[in-house]
């Protein structure tokens, strides 16, 4: 399932807790059942992880990756990474 919510929907600035909570409510899933994909490490990926949501950083410029951060270099890699997440949850 792919579903999205934006800051206008949440009437909240990007990466606030309320935005993630609205998304979780909208899809009726728990944080551990979701993967958040973003190219913003500091405002999106770290916030999602802090809320217990798996996060995948789109690291297009191949910057150094902090420990505990999973990344891809382009959007074409998403399906391979999702297969890994699915196998981990089995």
**Residue 9 corresponds to which tokens in the numbers above?**
């929907």
> What global pTM score does this model have?
0.77
* pLDDT higher at 17 or 28: 28
Strand partners, 54: 35
pLDDT at 14: 63
pLDDT at 4: 67
What digits encode the pLDDT tens for the residues 45-90? 888 999 999 999 999 998 988 888 999 999 889 888 888 877 877 6
* pLDDT higher at 42 or 28: 28
CA distance 50 to 26: 20
CA dihedral 52, 8, 37, 23 (to 10 degrees): 40
Number of residues that make up the chain:
90
């Amino acid at each position: 399932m792919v579903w999205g919510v934006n800051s206008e929907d949440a009437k909240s600035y990007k990466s606030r807790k309320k935005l993630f909570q609205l998304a979780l409510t909208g899809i009726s899933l728990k944080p551990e059942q979701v993967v958040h994909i973003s190219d913003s490490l500091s405002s999106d990926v770290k916030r999602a992880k802090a809320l217990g949501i798996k996060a995948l950083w789109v690291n297009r410029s191949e910057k150094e990756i902090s420990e505990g951060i999973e990344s891809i270099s382009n959007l074409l890699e998403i399906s391979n990474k999702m297969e890994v997440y699915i196998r981990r949850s089995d």
